[in-house]
Amino acid sequence: MKIILASASPRRKELLKEIVKDFEIIPAVGEEKADMTLPPEQIVCTLAEHKCGEVFEKYPDCIVIGYDTIVYFNGKVLGKPKTKAEAVLTLRELSGNTHSVYTGVCVRSADKLLTEYERTEVTFNGLSDEFIKNYVDGGSPMDKAGCYGIQDGGVVESYDGSYTNVVGLPVELVRKMIEEVLR
């Protein structure tokens, strides 16, 4: 059965290749809507289901996998920055602190719908203003929830949980969910 990744993220594409050798990429394009007052795990699961469902409507004979990742800190969701100034503020806020990264995953076939999430705790190094400026000017924060990539050097001091979750695709969870759908 054909598998579809409902995401254009190059990082998710690379991680999914660790589980599935052959799949197609058809990103969801609809507006992301979720009640941001919900607990973070419900937010990511709702958004993942929405993305998965949008693509599944067009390809009901396939297995579709949808995702959403958020950074959650001090009771609020930190999404992708709209400007460099917003990225600087977010990185300053996270500097030297611990936050949570949640990824919701929805895997859907004609007869099964599974939705789960992964949570990882991430602690940042203390980031100097010069480091933040250079990091933002380099462009890496601009397409990432929380304005950083765990794979980028110098940002993350430590993490507790799934590394691949922070990248945007919790490999072990997704592997388990795909196996369940194929049963």
Question: Annotated active-site positions, please?
Answer: 68
As a whole number of angstroms, the distance between CA 72 and CA 28 comes to: 23
As a whole number of angstroms, the distance between CA 90 and CA 117 comes to: 24
The angle at the Cα of 153, spanning 151 to 156, to the nearest 5 degrees, equals 75
* Residues 135, 95 contacting (CB under 8 angstroms): no
Taking CA atoms, 163 is separated from 13, 38, 71, 101, 111, in Å, by: 16, 25, 14, 10, 31
